[in-house]
Amino acid sequence: MTESTMSVQNFLRPGKISLPALPPMSLYVHFPWCVRKCPYCDFNSHEWRGAGGAQAFPEQAYLDALRQDLEQSLPLVWGRPVHTVFIGGGTPSLLSAAGLDRLLSDLRALLPLDADAEITMEANPGTFEADKFRSFRASGINRLSIGIQSFNSEHLKALGRIHDGDEARHAIEIAQTNFDNFNLDLMFALPNQTLAQCQQDVETALSFSPPHLSLYHLTLEPNTQFHKYPPTVPDDDTAADMQDWIAERTATGGFEHYEVSAYAQPHRRAKHNQNYWEFGDYLGIGAGAHSKISFPHRVLRQIRHKHPQRFMEAAAAGSAVQEENEVDARDLPFEFMLNALRLTGGVKSELFADRTGLPMSKIAKGLTAAVEKGLLVDDPQRIAPTELGQRFLNDLQGMFLDRSGS
Ligand code: SF4
């Protein structure tokens, strides 16, 4: 047990903020391995190269470590109901059916999961076997997030994906048979992609009537192969045309564009992600996972050891947490706005005080300036970006970095 978890009392002492109630709580579970590392990926994912090049990973040892990590974290979240669970990675669909079942049993045994909790698992098309996914559903997974990225085999090859277009379609068919709630992840502005090819990808995705779509602009992130050896990607004008067409086509398809990259059919928003954007709390367990946990007078952030082996050793030794710090009250307004302004409809103004424990006066100057610039809607009941604010989101968020209001 860490010094901090042993002294939870320490987090309960008076402080500079005052939360009227604790935010809703989510759980994130990280699975850190993939069959192959994609050249654009900056997530904490590792190709597993076992003894003799075996394509396997230490499933039982990792599940043991997750349970230890959760047990060690319990004092920080004691008794708080968990509304959503997200098992991400990496490629968690590499877990065996028995392994996933054990993981969910451990979570249920240790945490008060809501009876109707949204429990999502990320899945990659190269890993779909009908029996396994039927079993995942029976174990309690009730939402899949499928990393399709594209249906175009050439583009999938350029992205280093292990599946082709046919496998992508087959994976969705298996998902549809077993799950009524699922998300398709697609990317656009891919290497050498034309507008017509982007349209074809989105049309194919829509033909499966997915409850939710995540459509991401490919970005060349630092510390990736694509950053080191950049591929030729569509120019800014073409990428903007793709974005505009996506907005129109998803709207005519009945989807609500509710967050920068997220599109949902009615009542099908991702509850787990919505909690992040509304600055809710989350406990993150597993290699490199991040947590944000509120107490009445402070907000705590934690990061677990990133490398899977180091994480497992640290969890076995008593604490998987590598970094832990209390968020400075002066940073909370920016952190809140960074998340809330991603929601196209914004949030109710009162959520600011509910989640940060600070009065609205802390962001009053920024709000007035952003309304004057036409970046925020002029409505005292809501904090919501205008269309211009959505287009210049970084500038808008940056307006709340100013500490002079504190
Ligand atoms: S499958 Fe996903 S997590 Fe794994 S390397 Fe590719 S993009 Fe990253």
pLDDT tens-digit series, residues 174-200 = 999 999 999 999 999 999 999 999 999
Which amino acid residue places its CA nearest to atom 3 of ligand 1? 90
pLDDT at residue 231, as a whole number: 96
Same domain flag for 394 and 270: no
For residue 34, the CA-to-ligand 1 centroid distance in Å is: 6
Cβ(45) – ligand 1 distance below 6 Å: yes
Q: Is the CB of 38 under 6 A from ligand 1?
A: yes
Examine the domain organization and report whether 242 and 115 are in the same domain.
yes
- DSSP state for residue 232 in the 8-state scheme: P
Same domain, 336 and 191: no
The confidence score (pLDDT) of residue 292 equals 98
Distance, CA of 21 to CA of 18 (rounded, Å): 9
Separation of CA 89 and ligand 1 centre (Å): 7
pLDDT at 404: 53
**233 and 333 fall within a common domain:** no
90 lines ligand 1 (CB under 6 A): yes
Asked if residue 263 lies in contact with residue 271, where contact means CB atoms within 8 angstroms, the answer is no
| Residue 142 falls inside a structural domain | yes
Residue 97 has pLDDT above 70, yes or no: yes
Residue carrying the six token digits 């009730």? 142
Coil vs helix vs strand at 300: strand
Encoding tokens for residue 349? 């103004």
- Asked if residue 300 belongs to a domain, the reply is no
Predicted pLDDT of residue 233: 96
Closest atom of ligand 1 to CA, residue 34: 4
Query: Which pLDDT band holds residue 405 (cuts at 50, 70, 90)?
Result: very low
CA distance 184 to 82: 24
User: Which pLDDT band holds residue 127 (cuts at 50, 70, 90)?
Assistant: confident
Give me 59's structure tokens.
Answer: 């499933």
For residues 144 and 121, the answer to whether their CB atoms sit within 8 Å is yes
8 within domain boundaries: no
Q: Based on the fold, state whether residues 269 and 347 are members of the same structural domain.
A: no
Boundary (domain end) residue, out of 232, 256, 274: 274
Q: Is the pLDDT of residue 110 over 50?
A: yes
Please state at what angle helix 165-178 crosses helix 130-139, rounded to 10 degrees.
40
CATH number of the CATH domain containing 361: 1.10.10.920
* Confidence at residue 402, expressed as pLDDT on a 0 to 100 scale: 63
Q: CB-hemisphere CA count at 13 Å for 94?
A: 24
> Domain containing 342: what range?
329-405
- 240, 274, 308 - which closes a domain: 274
Amino acid 368: pLDDT: 97
Q: In this model, does residue 3 exceed pLDDT 60?
A: no
Q: What is the pLDDT of residue 406?
A: 43
Residues above pLDDT 90, as percent of the chain: 93
Q: Is the pLDDT of residue 6 over 80?
A: no
Do 198 and 53 belong to one domain?
yes
- 359 pLDDT more than 50: yes
Instruction: Give 56's pLDDT tier (boundaries 50, 70, 90).
Output: confident
96, 59 contact by CB (below 8 A): yes
127 within domain boundaries: yes
Confidence check: pLDDT of 2 > 60: no
| pLDDT given for residue 237 in this prediction | 97
CATH code of the domain in which 250 resides: 3.20.20.70
Instruction: Say what the pLDDT of residue 48 is.
Output: 81
| Residues 261 and 333 placed together within one structural domain of the fold | no
Check pocket membership of 216 for ligand 1, CB cut-off 6 A.
Answer: no
Does pLDDT of 51 surpass 80? no
Q: Do residue 150 and residue 268 come from a single domain?
A: yes
Q: Are 107 and 74 within 8 A, CB to CB?
A: no
Ligand 1 atom 5, closest CA:
37
Instruction: Return mean pLDDT, the chain.
Output: 95
The answer to whether residue 50 scores a pLDDT higher than 80 is no
Same domain assignment for residues 344 and 264 = no
Q: Is the CB of 148 under 6 A from ligand 1?
A: no
pLDDT recorded at residue 55: 57
pLDDT single digits (tens) 151-166: 999 999 999 998 999 9
Is 55 contained in some domain?
Answer: yes
What are the pLDDT digits (tens) for 314-342?
A: 999 999 999 999 999 999 999 999 999 99
d(CA 324, CA 292): 10
**Does ligand 1 have an atom closer than 6 angstroms to the CB of 34?**
yes
User: Greatest CA span in the chain, whole angstroms?
Assistant: 63
pLDDT of residue 121 exceeding 60, the answer is: yes
Within a domain: residue 19? yes
Tell me whether residue 212 is in a domain: yes
Cα 232 to Cα 220: distance, rounded to the nearest angstrom? 11
> Do 115 and 232 have their domain in common?
yes
Query: What's the number of domains the chain is made of?
Result: 2
Same domain, 209 and 343: no
Of the residues 229, 251, 274, which one is the last residue of a structural domain?
274
Residue with CA at minimum distance from ligand 1 atom 2: 90
* Residues 24 and 149 occupy one common structural domain: yes
Within a domain: 158: yes
- Averaged pLDDT, 50-64: 78
pLDDT at 12 over 60: yes
pLDDT digits (tens, 9 = 90+) for 365-374: 999 999 999 9
